[in-house]
Amino acid sequence: REANTLGSKSVDARTTNAAVELKVLIEQMREQVQNVE
């Protein structure tokens, strides 16, 4: 959730890109957790 807030409130393109990358990493982690369960 915080990654979404960071991305939507940022005005710097680098920060926005970092937020998008963070969201991708979070999604990958969620998928890995699903595979473990």
Q: Could you report the per-residue pLDDT of 7-26, keeping only the tens digit for each?
A: 777 788 888 888 889 999 99
What single-letter amino acid sits at 31? E
**pTM for the full predicted model:** 0.69
For residue 32, name the pLDDT band (cuts at 50, 70, 90). Answer: very high
pLDDT for res 27: 94
Q: Please tell me what DSSP assigns to residue 12.
A: S
Question: What Cα–Cα distance (Å) separates residue 18 from each residue in 10, 25, 33, 36?
Answer: 10, 10, 22, 27
Answer with the residue of higher pLDDT: 3 or 21: 21
pLDDT for res 15: 84
pLDDT for res 9: 77
